[in-house]
Every structure is written in structure tokens, then in C-alpha cells.
Amino acid sequence: MRDLPSRLRSRGHPSGGGCMMPPSFDIVLAGRGGQGVIFLSRIIGEAAMLQGLGIRTTETHGMAMRGGSVKCFVRIGDAMGPLFPRGCASLLMALHPDEAPSGSSYLGPAGVMVINTSQMPERTKNPEDMKIITVDAQSLAEKEGVPRSSNLALLGAAAGLEDFPVSSASLESVILSKGPEGIRERNLRIFQLGGENFQQYPGKKTRKP
């Protein structure tokens, strides 16, 4: 099993703060039933395994089939189990903007929030206090004729983060192996568009050079 990149190992837990856990890149995926939250966790997990990285996942959900809240926890690295405490996540991916406020409690001081929205949600913290990236993932997916693949546009935006441990090449390889052949290339394009069309709010440098 390979380790996390040295830039993460060298500074302890990548979320910052006092998270006393083995180095891992911890992700919260938050959305609604039908948005592909669990599918997205599988894409990330399979891509991580292609690189030989350790992966742990679990999910919690209410009335997922009726549009209820769904959260999935993904840990990449040396984590012993799939769950982590609030205040320790490296990344929150909010597939629905209304899930961003509740999901933000999991973020560590150095965490980043990536939100599927065309504008800043009113109930999130001040952008000066949190690193936030927004992408209108739904519109990007609809333009490619696959509206249910908005989750891949959000992943594309997240994949460019400086500390994201899974390469875009690995993610693209997994994306091209999923779904009917007729939409695989469009799904790949949606992922790529997400990495090209985003708004970053004030904070530390979060994008790869």
C-alpha cells in the first residue's frame, strides 16, 4: 500500500488543527437522495486503489429515495476506520447547496468546501473564514445532456485542489469504465468542465499550479 504524498505526511493531518489521527485525506460528500453521493464515493475509492492508496468509506442517510439528506465519509491514507470526528475533514463536497451548512461542521481549520451552486449559499460561513469553491455543476451537466452527472462536475472542481491525493488521470480512467458506453465520453467531459469552470473565494491558495 502506498503512502499519501509527502507534502501531506510531513505536516500531519491535512485538515490542520488538533486531529490526533494517522495522516489521511478525509472527505465528506453531502447531498440528497438521487444525486449520486454513494456513486461518487465509489469513483474516488476505485481511483485511489488504482494508485495503491488506502481507502475507507461509509455512508449515513435518511429517506434517500425521497430526496433526503445523504452523507458519505471517504478516508484516503492510513486511516484505521471509515469515520472521523467533526472538525477534522480535509474536504467537503456539497452536491446540494442546502447540505453545505451542516456538512461544514466536519471541516478542519485547513479544510476546503466545494459546493454545487451558481452563487454563494447564504447560510455558509463568511468566505474570509473558510476556503470555498463553487461550481454550477448542474448547468455543466445539463449542457452535455447528462443532468444526473452533475456530481462528476463537482468532482472535477475538487480534483484540482492542491492537496487532493488522487490524480485526475486515475479518476478519468474510472469514469470511463462506468455507465452506458453512450454517455462515458460525455461524463468525462463533465468532469473536465468542472475543473475549468469554478469560482474560488478568498482564502489560502487551494488550486494546483
Quote the pTM value.
Answer: 0.83
| 8 belongs to a structural domain | no
Mean pLDDT of 90-102: 92
| 92 belongs to a structural domain | yes
Number of domains in the chain: 1
| 108 belongs to a structural domain | yes
* Confidence class for position 43, pLDDT limits 50, 70, 90: very high
Residue 133 has pLDDT above 60, yes or no: yes
**CATH code where residue 40 lies:** 3.40.920.10
* Confidence class for position 11, pLDDT limits 50, 70, 90: very low
The confidence score (pLDDT) of residue 59 equals: 76
Cβ contacts of residue 121 below 8 Å, gap of 6+?
97, 98, 100, 101, 115
Q: Spell out where the chain has E strands.
A: 24-32, 55-61, 69-77, 89-94, 107-116, 131-135, 199-200
| 116 belongs to a structural domain | yes
47-56 pLDDT, tens per residue?
999 999 999 8
| 19 belongs to a structural domain | no
What percent of the chain stands above pLDDT 70? 75
Q: Which residues of 165-186 are buried (b: 16+ CB within 10 A; e: fewer)?
A: bbebebbbebbeeeeeeebeeb
Owning domain of residue 154: 24-200
Residue 169 has pLDDT above 60, yes or no: yes
| 167 belongs to a structural domain | yes
Per the CB < 8 A criterion, the answer to whether 69 and 32 are in contact is yes
| 15 belongs to a structural domain | no
**Of 84-88, 96-100, 149-153, minimum mean pLDDT range:** 84-88
| 137 belongs to a structural domain | yes
Residue 9 has pLDDT above 50, yes or no: no
| Whole-number average pLDDT of the chain | 83
